[in-house]
């Protein structure tokens, strides 16, 4: 989900483990030369999801911590590739905490239906995150550093 700290935790985990770091949202934006909101406006939901999956399938990153956009979970082939490449960690946060952290979802480039709110998006995505996760970690009340430490314990 947006706002759980995937990118921040990913950078810290990469530093702590001597790995490289890839943020797929940044990688897609650099490859396409447009921001996520611009890509969503141009491609629409289905088009963006196809573009995202194409980019993830083309990603070659060894010994890397990869922070994906929250919507990558809709792409079966992308998720299968990521699972085959390493341990998939789902960073969870209760809906109330997400609501407190997030502002305008559209300005963040969140893949959702036009009239879909955060609660509906949460209900839609959580089963998919659980389906693919090798490790689930509730990050509520934890600092980024504590999340990194827990990941290192649970997914060495």
Calpha distance 61→80 (Å, rounded): 15
The pLDDT-based confidence of 11 (bands split at 50, 70, 90) is very high
Beta partners for residue 20, in sequence order: 64
Summarised one tens digit per residue, pLDDT across range 79-98 is 999 999 999 999 999 988 88
HSE at residue 96, side-chain half, CA atoms within 13 A, is 2
Residue 101 confidence (pLDDT): 81
> Of the candidates 27, 131, 110, 9, which has an alpha carbon nearest to the alpha carbon of residue 65?
9
CATH architecture of 6-144: 3-Layer(aba) Sandwich (3.40)
pLDDT at 109: 67
Q: Is residue 134 very low, low, confident or very high in pLDDT (cuts 50, 70, 90)?
A: very high
Average pLDDT of the chain is 91
What integer pLDDT is reported at residue 32 of this predicted model?
96
CB atoms within 10 A of CB 87: 13
- Please, which pLDDT band fits residue 100 given cuts at 50, 70 and 90? confident
**Which tens digits make up the pLDDT trace of 20-59?**
999 999 999 999 999 999 999 999 999 999 999 999 999 9
Radius of gyration of the chain (CA): 15
The answer, yes or no, to whether residue 139 has pLDDT greater than 80, is yes
Residue 92 parent element (H or E): strand 89-92
pLDDT surpassing 80 at residue 107: no
């Amino acid at each position: 989900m947006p706002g759980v700290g995937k990118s921040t935790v990913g950078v810290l985990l990469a530093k702590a483990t001597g790995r490289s770091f890839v943020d797929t949202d940044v990688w897609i934006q650099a490859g396409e030369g447009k921001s996520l909101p611009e890509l969503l406006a141009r491609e629409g939901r289905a088009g963006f999801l196809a573009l995202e999956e194409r980019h993830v399938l083309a990603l070659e990153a060894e010994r890397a911590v990869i922070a994906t956009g929250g919507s990558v979970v809709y792409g079966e082939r992308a998720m299968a590739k990521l699972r085959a490449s390493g341990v998939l960690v789902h960073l969870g946060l209760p809906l109330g905490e997400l609501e407190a952290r997030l502002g305008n979802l559209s300005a963040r480039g969140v893949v959702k239906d036009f009239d879909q709110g955060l609660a509906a998006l949460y209900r839609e995505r959580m089963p998919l995150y659980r389906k693919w996760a090798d490790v689930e970690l509730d990050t509520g009340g934890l600092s980024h550093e504590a999340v990194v430490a827990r990941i290192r314990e649970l997914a060495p």
